[in-house]
């Protein structure tokens, strides 16, 4: 029987959801809605792409889920914080996320900001505390924390969001500028998910270089497909179709058209798969995830 990507994704998503639920405490006696707001966004579904990629990369080198899971959940918390803040009126002003009203529309802008702040801050505490308890060596854990903070910070995801805002409404944007934005805003966290998972699993420098090529190609392909689906719609969007156009976002399809965008995503996926062609069958989930993400219905 062949590998079933949907079953794999569902089982790993459930694993991540259970761990997140245990990590994000909630007291019904709290006088503030902060914990409720945090859990609302963190546990409201989503693809869990980044933690699943980390788990799959770890498995590719024989790693066990229990060792990588706390770090994977911490990364998802950072991703969730970024979504809460991106949705704010001062950013993208979105009203729907993961198929439900955005955090600030339910709890107000102030609580949404604090929920995002808390998720980001608590994520690093979880990495250290849970990482040590799961058996990660301090040296590798320090490297992991540095990698993730760099990917999420002013040289990575945050810079990508800043570029995104700067390009809104600009008429002479180049494809290179859009690719740079995507490589930081979306790609940096995908890349670090894969590299961290592989490091925890024991990948060597040569293998990490090949995975870097895989991750860069996958990150850009994923975002291009998202841009296409924002125009054409798709069952897994979880947000309003056409938001990019309403927010005057510069996207890949806007610059080169839908047909060329779809072709670009396919070429990038082939590049990703080629980069890890000599990996053994333990890397099958990584390969299948790359194919699945490109094949999301246009």
CATH code at position 149: 1.10.600.10
pLDDT tens string, the chain, 298 residues long: the values are: 588 999 999 999 999 999 999 999 877 777 899 999 999 999 988 899 999 999 999 999 999 999 999 999 999 999 999 999 999 999 888 899 988 999 999 999 999 999 999 999 999 999 999 999 999 999 999 999 999 999 999 999 999 999 998 988 888 899 999 999 999 999 999 999 999 999 999 999 999 999 999 999 999 999 999 999 988 875 555 555 555 555 566 788 989 999 999 999 999 999 999 999 999 999 999 999 999 998 875 3
Q: Report residue 46 as tokens.
A: 């989503």
Residues ≥6 apart with Cβ < 8 Å to 18:
none
**Exposed / middle / buried, residue 2 (Cβ in 10 Å: 0-12, 13-18, 19+):** exposed
Print the domain residue range for 217. 5-294
Residues 261-273 have pLDDT tens digits of 999 999 999 999 9
Instruction: Tell me which residue of 205, 211, 223, 296 sits closest to 264, measured CA to CA.
Output: 223
pLDDT, residue 89, reads 93
Question: CA–CA distance from 250 to each of 92, 111, 221 (Å)?
Answer: 13, 30, 16
Q: What is the number of domains present in the chain?
A: 1
Half-sphere exposure of 256 (CA within 13 A, CB side): 16
Q: What is the pLDDT of residues 168-198, one digit of tens each?
A: 888 889 999 999 999 999 999 999 999 999 9
What's the N-to-C CA distance of the chain in angstroms? 28
Cα–Cα distance between 65 and 269 in angstroms, integer? 26
Token readout for 123 is 């994520």
Give the residue from 198, 200, 163 showing the smallest Cα distance to 180. 163
Place of tokens 């291009």: 224
* pLDDT given for residue 125 in this prediction: 97
48 to each of 12, 17, 141, 248, 296, how far by Cα in Å? 9, 9, 22, 27, 15
Query: How far, CA to CA in Å, does 112 sit from each of 83, 134, 154?
Result: 10, 31, 21
């Amino acid at each position: 029987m062949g590998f079933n990507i949907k079953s794999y994704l569902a089982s790993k998503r459930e694993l991540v959801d259970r761990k997140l639920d245990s990590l994000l405490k909630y007291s019904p006696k709290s006088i503030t809605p902060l914990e409720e707001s945090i859990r609302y966004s963190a546990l409201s579904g989503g693809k869990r792409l980044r933690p699943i990629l980390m788990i799959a990369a770890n498995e590719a080198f024989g790693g066990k889920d229990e060792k990588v899971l706390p770090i994977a959940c911490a990364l998802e918390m950072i991703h969730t914080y970024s979504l809460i803040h991106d949705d704010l009126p001062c950013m993208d002003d979105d009203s729907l996320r993961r198929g439900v009203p955005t955090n600030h529309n339910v709890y107000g802008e102030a609580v949404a900001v604090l929920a995002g702040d808390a998720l980001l801050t608590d994520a690093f505490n979880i990495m250290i505390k849970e990482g040590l308890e799961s058996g990660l060596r301090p040296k590798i854990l320090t490297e992991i924390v540095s990698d993730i903070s760099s990917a999420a910070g002013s040289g990575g995801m945050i810079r990508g969001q800043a570029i995104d805002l700067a390009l809104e409404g600009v008429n002479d944007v180049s494809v290179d500028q859009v690719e740079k934005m995507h490589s930081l805003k979306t790609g940096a966290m995908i890349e670090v998910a894969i590299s961290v998972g592989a490091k925890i699993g024991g990948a060597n420098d040569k293998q990490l270089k090949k995975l870097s090529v895989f991750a860069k190609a996958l990150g850009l392909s994923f975002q291009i497909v998202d841009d296409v689906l924002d125009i054409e719609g798709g069952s897994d969007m979880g947000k309003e179709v056409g938001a990019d156009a309403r927010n005057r976002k510069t996207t890949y399809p806007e610059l080169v058209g839908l047909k060329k965008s779809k072709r670009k995503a396919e070429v990038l996926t082939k590049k990703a798969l080629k980069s890890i062609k000599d990996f053994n069958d333990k890397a099958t989930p990584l390969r299948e995830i790359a194919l699945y993400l490109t094949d999301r219905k246009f």
